[in-house]
Amino acid sequence: MESLSNVDVSDEEEEITADIVLKTLQTAWQNECLAPEILPHNNDMVECMLGQIQHMERNINKLPKTDIRASIHKMELSRIKFIICNYLRTRLNKIEKYCISILNDERQRMETGTNYLTVGEFKYAQEYLLNMETHLKNVVLDKMPGNMKTLEMNKMAVYPNLQTHVFLKANSTISGVVLEDLVGDQDEEIDLEEGSQHILQYKPIADLVKNGKVQLV
C-alpha cells in the first residue's frame, strides 16, 4: 500500500499530513463535546479525512482477507469514523437544542462571512425549525381561537449557558484573562501558562477555544 502521508488541503494551500488532520479533528471533537455553544465548523478537515477513508477502504479491499494489515487498517478507520460521527452528531444535537438562537446568530455571522455552520448544517437547522413550527401549528395552534394563533418563535429560543464552568488546558501562555467578580465588583485578571489546567467560566475564554489557544478537557 502506498504512503498516504501527503494530503493537500486546497483551502490552506499548503501540504499538511494526514496525521495532523486527524489530530485537528480529534481536538475539534473534544472541544465540541465540552463547549456549551456551537463552535465554528471544521468542514475542510472532515471532508479531507472522509476522502482519506474512502481511499484507504479501496486499498484494503485489494488485500487478502487473512492479511493482518487489513484488520489493523480497518480498526484504525473505525476509530476515525467514530470521531467524525460523534463530532457531527454533537453538532447536530446542539443545532436542534439551540435551533432558534443559532439561526439568529448565524444570519448575522453570514453577513460578515464568519459563519460557524456548514451549508448543510444551516439547511438542516432551517428545516428543523420549519418542521417544528408546522408541527406545533398542526397539532395545537390551528385549533385555537383566532386571537391565540400566533406563534412567536423568538420567545421560544433556548440559549446555551455561556456562564457555565469548564475545564481547560492552555496550549500557549496567555496573559490577562479577565474573570468577573460578582460580589466585590473587583474583576480579577489571571494568566494561563502553557500546559497549565484550570476550571473557569466559559464566556471569558470562548474566543481562546475558537482560535485554538486553549483546549477544553
Residues that bind other proteins (CB under 8 A): 1-5, 18-19, 22, 26, 30, 33-34, 49, 52, 56, 68-69, 71-73, 75-77, 79-80, 82, 86, 159, 161-167, 179, 182-183, 188, 190, 196-201, 217
Measured N-to-C along each axis, helices 68-97 and 43-62 cross at an angle, to the nearest 10 degrees, of 150
Q: How far apart are CA 69 and CA 1, in angstroms?
A: 10
Judged by beta carbon, residue 138 or residue 167, the one nearer other proteins is 167
Judged by beta carbon, residue 99 or residue 117, the one nearer other proteins is 99
Q: How far apart are CA 131 and CA 125, in angstroms?
A: 10
Judged by beta carbon, residue 18 or residue 125, the one nearer other proteins is 18
Q: Does an H or E element contain 192, and which? A: strand 188-192
A 10 A CB-CB count for 70 gives: 16
- Least separation in angstroms between residue 212's CB and other proteins is 17
**DSSP category for residue 145:** -
Judged by beta carbon, residue 85 or residue 148, the one nearer other proteins is 85
Q: Which residues partner with 192 through β-bridges?
A: 174
- Least separation in angstroms between residue 145's CB and other proteins is 28
